[in-house]
Structures are given as C-alpha cells and as structure tokens.
A and B are shown apart, each in its own frame.
Chain A
Amino acid sequence: AQTVTQSQPEMSVQEAETVTLSCTYDTSENNYYLFWYKQPPSRQMILVIRQEAYKQQNATENRFSVNFQKAAKSFSLKISDSQLGDTAMYFCAFYTGANSKLTFGKGITLSVRP
C-alpha cells in the first residue's frame, strides 16, 4: 500500500523568506506522480506543482520548486520569496495508475508572517 508522510504539522515563515515543506512516501511502484496541493481557508484545493517519477529533473513553477529524491522517496516543496497569500494548508499527494487514486499526506499548515 502507498503511504504519504508529512511529519511537520505546521510551520511559520517571514514574508519574503524561503521555506521548505517535507514529504516522504512509500511505494513499490516504479511509475507514479507526485503533487503538492494548496488549500487556503476558502477550502479550494489548488494544484501547486506536479512531478513525474520517471523525470530526474526537479519540477519548478515560478516561486515553487521541488527536491525529488527518488531513491530516498522524498519529495519536498520549496517556496521562495514567501507571500502572505501563501498562507494555507499544503498537501503532498501520490498517484499511481495501478490504484487510480490520489493518496494524500496529513497536510502541513503554513503561516506567512508580515
């Protein structure tokens, strides 16, 4: 069974600084996808970034980038130049075609301080 672990329940960062959110996963599959989703107080889940396991290059989307370590089964999210609007709950998620579902971690609450 696939599992996703987000061990930090909450983090806080000063506006304009950089923060890294950790995520580890466990799977026996070789082909899978990893995601970070953001859920602000509005509860709308928003896709932040996506990584295909077969790609060695780390995905980047503007201020968001990942550090994907396949052998270590680690998938961390780095947010650069943090903004107040980044305040939200962040979920790491895993998808494999064999299970055809997203498996989510427990989430981490990120607060950006002005």
Chain B
Amino acid sequence: KAGVTQTPRYLIKTRGQQVTLSCSPISGHRSVSWYQQTPGQGLQFLFEYFSETQRNKGNFPGRFSGRQFSNSRSEMNVSTLELGDSALYLCASSSTPAAEAFFGQGTRLTVV
C-alpha cells in the first residue's frame, strides 16, 4: 500500500506570491489533516478534512485555505506569502479521524 504522498517536496517562493501544496492520502483513508512545523512554533494544526468537509481549522490567518476532493486528495493554498510562512508543511491521513494518522514526507516551503 502506498503511503501518504506530498508534492512538491521542496518549493522556493517570493514574498507576495501564492502557493498550492498537494497531499494524496493512503488509499481508503478519508481523513486528511495539515500541520505546519517550524523551529520556533513546533507543530501547529492547520486544517482537518473528512469526506470533503472541513471539520476543524487551526488559528491561522485567512491566507491559509484548503480543500478536499471526492477522491480524498487534499490541497492547501497560501496566498500573499510572507517570510514567516517558511516551514515544513506536513499532511497526515487516517481511515477515520480518531484512527492512527500516517504522515507524508512533507513539503519544505522557503519564502524569500
């Protein structure tokens, strides 16, 4: 069974641009969550989707948005990038929200 796949793995963007990150969950998993990891703030929750519905959203500005498609694949978008958005973005999938979460290898976003 293939694991959680995140694309791209690395990304360099300029301040003010926007970016879209993609996450393909493990086959059969319907819950997808996103986390931001930085050295200063650690791991912070961004969103959780289950069956195309956003069930929870973390304390991030409206520039951060996401969605989930009918095949459970998920995307997150960050508009008007700031230097502070530089981070490792991790996606996790699980069969149900309370089941074990399996993480992808992350997308390393650098904003210059």
List the interface of chain A (C-beta within 8 A of B). 33, 35, 37, 42-47, 50, 91, 95, 97, 99-107
- Given the interface contacts A43-B88, A45-B103, does A97 sit within 8 Å of B97 by beta carbon? yes
In the assembly, what is the distance between CA of A71 and CA of B90, in Å?
Answer: 32
In the complex, whether B27 has a CB less than 8 A from a CB of chain A is no
- Given the interface contacts A97-B98, A102-B33, A102-B35, does A42 sit within 8 Å of B55 by beta carbon? no
- Given the interface contacts A100-B56, A101-B56, does A45 sit within 8 Å of B92 by beta carbon? yes
What residues of B have a CB within 8 angstroms of the CB of A103 in the complex? Answer: 45
What residues of A have a CB within 8 angstroms of the CB of B25 in the complex? Answer: none
Question: Main SS of the interface on chain B?
Answer: strand
- The reply to whether B100 and A104 form a contact with Cβ atoms under 8 Å apart is no
In the complex, whether B101 has a CB less than 8 A from a CB of chain A is yes
- The reply to whether B43 and A104 form a contact with Cβ atoms under 8 Å apart is yes
Chain B residue with the shortest CB-CB distance to A97: B98
* Distance between B102 CB and nearest chain A CB, rounded to angstroms: 7
- Given the interface contacts A45-B92, A101-B56, does A91 sit within 8 Å of B97 by beta carbon? no
Interface residue from A42, A43, A47, A95 paired with B98 (Cβ < 8 Å): A95
Chain A residue with the shortest CB-CB distance to B55: A100
